[in-house]
Amino acid sequence: MRYVIADMEATGLGEGRQIIELALLTWDGEKVVDVYETLINPLVPLPDRVQELTGIHPRELERAPKFYEIAEDIAARLDGATFVSHNTGFDWEMLSTAFEAMGLTVKCRTHCTLKTAQFLVPGLKSYTLEALCRFFNVRARPGHRALPDARATLGLFLELQLLAHPPRGKVIERHLPHHLQQLKLLPARAGVVSYRDVNGQLVFAEAADDMHAAAKERLRIRAEAKELLERCEAIEGEVTGSPLIAAFRQARLHPVLEKWMIRLTEESDGWLKFEALPGRKGALWTFADRAEAQRTLRELESSLPNPKFAWREGGRSKEEILEHNRAIDELVRATRFPTDNLLLWGPGRQPDEWSYVWVRGGKLVGWGYDTRPPEKVMESPARAIQRFSGGAEERIAVRYLREHRHKRIKADQWRALKEIRC
């Protein structure tokens, strides 16, 4: 692949504009193999503001070649290559118009670094060549002259190619400048991260074990994060200490309507089975969408023993039905709370504080904070519970404890409560 990175200066921006300077850098994928730079006599007066901007004097243009004198040299470099510039619509239109006036036809592809940057780096405040070179830390900087601007465009083009096609296994860590400043203030603690727009309205909220790491990954520049990158102006972190309490807070800030469920149904012979259905009535577990419900259903079914009757004639025996239903009951209990009464504790919001989540009678009672250590709180848990939970938070707690079963037991941060006095 051969790329010709171009930049040109013109007599103006409107119709009838003429090229006054052109630079072409031919890139073979590894290095620059050709540099072409020339002033061009436009055969029209040069406006004063263009003189001031570029530093090009009319006398220099009077001695420069006319376009028709160098058109074939330019066409030879471009034919069969990919024409690259910042705002290709402007540059290629001007160049192709000049070629058409000479009766020349040049076949080449075009690639616009401006449009590529707008797609790959959504949310930037400015997409000028200078702003993008500053963002990507491109050493060559534009200076309103064709050759420096072409070198800057080449540097930008290579950075965009790396961002679009990173080496295998490598993640490109880039963030918008205003996000980067706010990420520095976000603590690496469990809590809820809120992403807000320019009016302070909540765009998205997420619970995280490490708010800094979660927000850093969420706001990493990539095309699939386009909507959030464009809308997010402010990042806020609420320390909860406990990842589970962070999930409760996130559910209140950004509630999810759970439209699907898994429930138990009974066949005519008494055989129990799990089913994924729309709705919430009679649910054992609820889910945001059908895919999540079906995935959990497959996990549940794979945990059950294979039925023996499936491999012989005659159907199910009464003993097999009872054995299967006992396995169903055990699985339901195992995928809810590990005991009917338990206290889950972890770090609090401050160094001298603990977080507590209390389950009684197989139901989530609530959660809160207390400066007393767990052995004291176990004597009277109700004093530590300041916030009482709804059904959504109980489902979150069940899911969290199921998914973190081994981590929870290893950390010894829970205790079964045999007797609770309130």
**The pair of three-digit structure tokens given for residue 32, joined into one six-digit string:** 């620059």
- Chain Cα centroid distance, residue 303: 34
- Read off the pLDDT of each residue in 160-185 and give the average, rounded to a whole number: 91
Q: What is the pLDDT of residue 410?
A: 42
Neighbour-count burial of 296, counting CB atoms closer than 10 A to its CB (0-12 exposed, 13-18 middle, 19+ buried): buried
Query: Can you tell me the distance from the alpha carbon of 9 to that of 7, in angstroms, rounded to the nearest whole number?
Result: 7
Which residue reads 């916030």 in tokens? 387
Q: What is the mean pLDDT of residues 323-349?
A: 85
- Region 338-364: what's the mean pLDDT? 87
Burial class of residue 26, CB neighbours in 10 A (0-12, 13-18, 19+): middle
pTM for this prediction: 0.75
Q: What pLDDT, in 10s, does the model give residues 372-389?
A: 988 889 888 888 887 776
Q: With beta carbons less than 8 A apart as the criterion, state whether 381 and 420 touch.
A: yes
Q: Which residue has the higher pLDDT, 417 or 312?
A: 312
pLDDT band, residue 310 (cuts 50/70/90): low
Residue 328's Cα: distance from chain center in Å? 39
Q: What is the DSSP string of 65-101?
A: PBHHHHHHHHHHHHTTSEEEETTHHHHHHHHHHHHHH
pLDDT above 90 for 344? no
**DSSP-derived pairing of the beta strands 354-360 and 363-370:** antiparallel
Q: What is the pLDDT of residue 313?
A: 65
Q: Using an 8 Å Cβ cutoff, are 175 and 227 in contact? A: no
The reported pLDDT for the residue numbered 417 is 43
Q: According to the model, what pLDDT value does residue 114 have?
A: 96
What is d(CA 408, CA 390) in angstroms, rounded to the nearest whole number? Answer: 23
**Whether residue 227 has pLDDT greater than 90:** yes
Does the structure show a pLDDT above 60 at 311?
no
User: Highest mean pLDDT: which of 154-158, 164-168, 219-223, 295-299?
Assistant: 154-158
Domain boundaries, the chain: 3-164, 177-239, 260-334, 342-416
- What is the spatial distance between Cα 378 and Cα 349, in angstroms, rounded to a whole number? 20
CATH topology for the 177-239 domain: GIY-YIG endonuclease (3.40.1440)
Please give the mean pLDDT across all residues of the chain.
87
Higher pLDDT, 341 or 220: 220
pLDDT on residue 412: 43
Give the pLDDT mean for 286-300.
88
Is residue 113 predicted with pLDDT exceeding 70? yes
Query: Residue ranges of the alpha helices (H) in 186-339?
Result: 211-218, 226-231, 243-253, 290-303, 318-334
Q: Which helix (H) or strand (E) holds 390?
A: none
The dihedrals phi and psi of 71, each to the nearest 5 degrees, come to -60, -40
Q: Which residue has better confidence, 105 or 134?
A: 134
CB 257 within 8 A of CB 280: no
Residue 228 near residue 219 (C-beta atoms within 8 A): yes
pLDDT confidence band for 224 (50 / 70 / 90): confident
CATH of 3-164, one of 3.40.50.720, 3.30.420.10, 3.40.50.700, 3.20.20.70: 3.30.420.10
- CB contact at 8 A, 346 and 358: no
Lowest average pLDDT, out of 45-54, 106-115, 218-227, 327-336, goes to: 327-336
Alpha carbon 125 to its chain centroid, in Å, reads 18
User: Position 341: which residue type?
Assistant: N
Residue 281: which region, alpha, beta or left (left: phi > 0; alpha: psi -120 to 50)? beta
Q: What is the average per-residue pLDDT within 229-240?
A: 95
